[in-house]
Structure 1
Amino acid sequence: MALPQSVIDVCYFIAALLFILGLKRMSSPRTARGGIVWAGFGMLLAVVATLLLPDMHNRGLIIAAVLIGVTAAWWSGRRVAMTAMPQMVALYNGMGGGAAAAIGASELVAHVVPAMDAVTVGALSPVALALGVLGALIGSVSFSGSSIAFAKLQGWLDRRFVFPGQQVVNLLVLAAAVGLGIVLASGHITLPLVVGFFIAALLFGILMTLPIGGADMPVVISLYNAFTGLAVAFEGYVLQNEAMIIAGMVVGAAGTLLTQLMAKAMNRSIGNVLFGSFGAAATGAAAQAIGGSQKPVEAADAAVMMAYAERVVIVPGYGMAVAQAQHKVWEFAQLLIARGVKVKFAIHPVAGRMPGHMNVLLAEAGVPYDLIVDMEDINPEFPVTDVAVVIGANDVVNPVAKTDPSSPIYGMPILDVADARQVIVVKRGKGTGFAGIENALFYADNARMLYGDGQSVAGQLVSQLKTLDA
């Protein structure tokens, strides 16, 4: 069964509208869920229309592959924990880049082996050939880089891997990939050149990601998302598939904008994120000495402090996600609200391991959107906040970002938790954050450390509040 090309074009147009409108609805938490559904229907329409193209071959194999992929994605999506969402996003994003690279590889190999059932590069215009090679390069980098990001977030690799002359080696590998790409784009295509091109591109993605620390993972994931979108758009031009072009450009533009916003939130350039080796363990040689000591507090005393406060701001971080404490934290917040305490949740743009990670966790727990406040809006309120509760956050509340020019995070905008009248830090131990930097907040005169697992501590606070109300 096949549809006329005019009908296919109409389907692609409708799919493109659904992509764009879906993305627009994702700009607000209240309509984001509907936006995802709209974009999903757009993708379904585009896939079905593509399968009904007049010159489509191997429909059975394609449908079988789609069914396998949908089943695996549905199963994994239902089972994955919210704490593992960042690495799943990185993995799926890498698959998108890998798929784009595979299209480019298929077209290049088809030129070498004309008997293959594929559109040969020889039939492509010079522009299409160049974009196909560029899409293959970007998609390969996104695939291998996202795979390393997944392994880092999953804990399978050390946070960073550096060696002397690393940037020079990376530059040489990139130059090799670009050089081979230029040769291929000029029409001189042989199997050894194709293989060397993809090896160099994949290797560059690996080498570029290995030295990047976990503190930069939100930016890296967003950047590779933009790479995947661009790669899909370029390969869509090769295949003359309007839906791929539009969807890829939308994803690429959104990912690029988000990457810029993430980097701005850290007061750093994208180049510094990629090549500055941020996230390294601090050497401490040039860092300012932190005076004072960490002062512990018991759950009962912390509960009393908050129960009789007027304003409480809760600052969640990745530690809350690891402890899966968001539900208990919200239960505790509800008890405070019932006592007349004004409670808000403060979110840093790069908190967690991917953009919006903390927002997703809080939404899952049922926290109303109007209680979740961004950094720019909540910072002016900390001086009039009675108690700020930091649960699992570290680097995004570290005052050295404002006071220590030798610190790797100096200049990064932070949540001004230290300005609150009292600070309670819920933490499992005395270790440093993911960036490996000692946190001066923990030693401040107005800070108290409530040691323990986030969920267990939140449960203790709930029990203590209920005791006060009894």
Structure 2
Amino acid sequence: MTTTIPVWVQLAYLAAAVCFILALKGLSSPKTARRGNLLGAVAAAGATVVVFFQDPDGMDHVPLILVAIAIGTAAGFIGAYKVQMTQMPQLVALFNGVGGGAAALVALLELHEILENGDESTAIIKIATVFTIFVGAVSFAGSAITFAKLQELMTTRPVVFPGLPIAFGGSFVAAIAIAIVIVNDPNILLGVLLGILGLAIGVLLVLPVGGADVPIVISLLNAFTGLSVAAGGYVLGNTLLLVAGTLVGASGTILTLLMARAMGRSVANTMFGALKGGSTLGAGVASDRPVKSANPEDVAIMLNYAEKIIIVPGYGLAVAQAQHSLRELVEVLQERGIEVDYAIHPVAGRMPGHMNVLLAEAQVPYEQLIEMDEINSEFKNTDVVLVVGANDVVNPAAKTTPGAPIYGMPILNADEAHQVVFMKRSMRPGFAGIENELLFDPKTTLLFGDAKDTMGKLLNAVKAL
């Protein structure tokens, strides 16, 4: 049964959809990202309010709905407010998973409505319903495993067992068969079973992924959630959900492809490489080979007499929360006439844009954040590269060692600089778990210690010169 939507509601939804598009445009640049995020949030809140006035007489269980909204709002606000910058990828994974799970549950309820209405729905509606149940469940379970890996509640290494390909393929074939049966003869129990298979496939999809591939998985699952929400919008006859889900699905897909390209591998190889014996996670054993190290005073002299410096930030910077001290160090160097830029690798950190967000939080000017393709040619003219908490994104093995887990991944050409300084807590390898030969290069100096503490000492040493 179709319901006529009032013109004012359609106009409100149209305005919200336009705001979503503008918000997505805003998120394409660090300068406008905060404004874009706020615009999207306001549009979503406004669209939610409109629902309550669209058909007041046709709404049931309003008090329960309001209680659920209050609980969700409180949980989201407290979680986002208290989360550490290093835990932002986990939060994104959780929010993404909740969206997929919600879409799957709504689709199950709609399947129940189809049965109650005497199977009057079109085949397209049924196909969209089973698609939403399945893909939403995959996104929910996959995001949960991603969260567990990032939070180190389970091993971050690829989890592979002999029967995994068979289990994955068999579950997928079974899911398709059940979906076909549901479309021909709707059945709520089969719908639940389809959801369970989706959960299983989501787990099996993410288990073999490890190391530096996690940001790509987050982006891919985000696209899954968007597609499930778009399909759910079609089932519900809600144009706004259809538009919003399509935007998320399309942008997530594009971002996934860009991230995979930045890793130098296909999405298929990223997701299933471990099944063939490849992975972006190596042995992870700390090296005992000799290296050249220095104290903060020695490194301060190197920086003070340089003409051009490039900073390479990484996840270790986020862990130590040293971004504010780093910004202050850069400002001191710039006041002395030294040219300083930040080199941003697309997959540095644990999620897309992690370093941009981290440095923006420290009020680093956007024009100093230079992407890899633009800055790579500058390294050969750079006096000192200061690598803070990064490893894999400057590892020459990506260019020189066929068979290495990260071989083929485009990297920042830090090895071309005149001098390289690594700020590291220890000799443990990066997230890919492999040794970095640049650490043992004669022109490389290591500054050991917690990045925040060491950065403070380095800042004081530079000021003292």
Q: Is the 8 A contact 2:19 2:43 kept in 1?
A: yes
- Residue 282 of structure 1, CA deviation: 4.4
Q: Is the 8 A contact 1:26 1:32 kept in 2?
A: yes
Mapped pair 1:107 → 2:110 = yes
| Residues in 2 aligned to 1:257 and 1:423: alpha-carbon distance in whole angstroms | 34
Q: Secondary structure at the match of 2:119?
A: helix
Identity of aligned residues (%): 47
Mapped pair 1:63 → 2:60 = no
The superposition leaves residues 182-218 of structure 1 with CA deviations (integer Å, 9 ceiling, x where unpaired) of 2112224152x22321111101101111121031111
Aligned match for 1:425, one of 415, 422, 426: 422
Q: What letter corresponds to residue 104 of structure 1 in structure 2?
A: A
TM score, norm. by length of structure 1: 0.93
Tell me which moved more, 63-72 or 410-419: 63-72
Mapped pair 1:38 → 2:36 = no
CA RMSD in angstroms comes to 1.9
Match of 1:21 in 2: 22
| Residues in 1 aligned to 2:454 and 2:288: alpha-carbon distance in whole angstroms | 27
| Residues in 2 aligned to 1:302 and 1:185: alpha-carbon distance in whole angstroms | 67
Q: Secondary structure at the match of 1:312?
A: strand
- Residue 362 of structure 1, CA deviation: 0.3
| Residues in 1 aligned to 2:172 and 2:374: alpha-carbon distance in whole angstroms | 41
Match of 1:329 in 2: 326
Q: What letter corresponds to residue 33 of structure 1 in structure 2?
A: R
Aligned match for 2:382, one of 369, 382, 385: 385
- Residue 240 of structure 1, CA deviation: 0.2
Match of 2:185 in 1: 187
Aligned match for 1:132, one of 126, 129, 133: 129
Aligned match for 1:369, one of 341, 366, 374: 366
Q: 1:190 to 1:85 in 2, by over 3 A?
A: closer
Q: Is the 8 A contact 1:3 1:52 kept in 2?
A: no
Q: 1:146 to 1:363 in 2, by over 3 A?
A: same
- Residue 279 of structure 1, CA deviation: 2.5
| Residues in 1 aligned to 2:52 and 2:24: alpha-carbon distance in whole angstroms | 25
- Residue 263 of structure 1, CA deviation: 0.3
Match of 1:178 in 2: 176
Match of 2:77 in 1: 74
Q: Secondary structure at the match of 1:332?
A: helix
Match of 1:96 in 2: 99
Q: What letter corresponds to residue 231 of structure 1 in structure 2?
A: S
Match of 1:245 in 2: 242
Aligned match for 1:409, one of 406, 410, 413: 406
The superposition leaves residues 388-445 of structure 1 with CA deviations (integer Å, 9 ceiling, x where unpaired) of 0111111111001100111121111000000000000011111111111111111112
Tell me which moved more, 227-236 or 157-166: 157-166
Q: Is the 8 A contact 1:292 1:444 kept in 2?
A: no
| Residues in 2 aligned to 1:283 and 1:15: alpha-carbon distance in whole angstroms | 48
The superposition leaves residues 244-270 of structure 1 with CA deviations (integer Å, 9 ceiling, x where unpaired) of 000000111110010010000011111
> How do 1:447-458 residues align onto structure 2 when only pairs under 5 Å count?
447-458=444-455
> How do 1:127-276 residues align onto structure 2 when only pairs under 5 Å count?
127-159=124-156, 160-191=158-189, 193-276=190-273
| Residues in 2 aligned to 1:414 and 1:310: alpha-carbon distance in whole angstroms | 23
Q: Is the 8 A contact 1:217 1:353 kept in 2?
A: yes
Q: Secondary structure at the match of 1:52?
A: helix
- Residue 4 of structure 1, CA deviation: 6.1
- Residue 178 of structure 1, CA deviation: 1.9
Q: 1:68 to 1:246 in 2, by over 3 A?
A: same
Mapped pair 1:307 → 2:307 = no
| Residues in 2 aligned to 1:47 and 1:418: alpha-carbon distance in whole angstroms | 52
| Residues in 1 aligned to 2:108 and 2:207: alpha-carbon distance in whole angstroms | 25
TM score, norm. by length of structure 2: 0.94
| Residues in 2 aligned to 1:49 and 1:59: alpha-carbon distance in whole angstroms | 14
Paired positions, count:
455
The superposition leaves residues 4-44 of structure 1 with CA deviations (integer Å, 9 ceiling, x where unpaired) of 62221111111101101111122222222111121112111
Q: What letter corresponds to residue 396 of structure 2 in structure 1?
A: P
Q: 1:385 to 1:213 in 2, by over 3 A?
A: same
Tell me which moved more, 368-377 or 439-448: 439-448
- Residue 3 of structure 1, CA deviation: 11
| Residues in 2 aligned to 1:72 and 1:351: alpha-carbon distance in whole angstroms | 29
| Residues in 2 aligned to 1:418 and 1:148: alpha-carbon distance in whole angstroms | 35
Q: Secondary structure at the match of 2:407?
A: coil
Q: Is the 8 A contact 1:109 1:194 kept in 2?
A: no
Q: Is the 8 A contact 2:284 2:428 kept in 1?
A: no
Tell me which moved more, 353-362 or 58-67: 58-67
Q: Is the 8 A contact 1:107 1:121 kept in 2?
A: no
- Residue 291 of structure 1, CA deviation: 12
Tell me which moved more, 353-362 or 167-176: 167-176
Which structure 1 residue ranges, 5 or more long, are not aligned?
Answer: 115-119, 285-289
Tell me which moved more, 290-299 or 387-396: 290-299
Q: Secondary structure at the match of 1:276?
A: helix
Match of 1:287 in 2: none
The superposition leaves residues 301-321 of structure 1 with CA deviations (integer Å, 9 ceiling, x where unpaired) of 111000110001010000111
- Residue 225 of structure 1, CA deviation: 0.6
Match of 1:85 in 2: 88
Match of 1:52 in 2: 53
| Residues in 2 aligned to 1:449 and 1:439: alpha-carbon distance in whole angstroms | 12
| Residues in 2 aligned to 1:345 and 1:75: alpha-carbon distance in whole angstroms | 32
- Residue 72 of structure 1, CA deviation: 1.1
| Residues in 1 aligned to 2:132 and 2:446: alpha-carbon distance in whole angstroms | 50
Match of 1:7 in 2: 8
Q: Is the 8 A contact 2:130 2:191 kept in 1?
A: no
- Residue 105 of structure 1, CA deviation: 1.5
| Residues in 1 aligned to 2:15 and 2:325: alpha-carbon distance in whole angstroms | 43
Q: Secondary structure at the match of 1:89?
A: helix
| Residues in 2 aligned to 1:239 and 1:212: alpha-carbon distance in whole angstroms | 34
Q: Is the 8 A contact 1:21 1:35 kept in 2?
A: yes
- Residue 51 of structure 1, CA deviation: 2.1
Q: Secondary structure at the match of 1:122?
A: coil
Q: Is the 8 A contact 1:152 1:214 kept in 2?
A: no
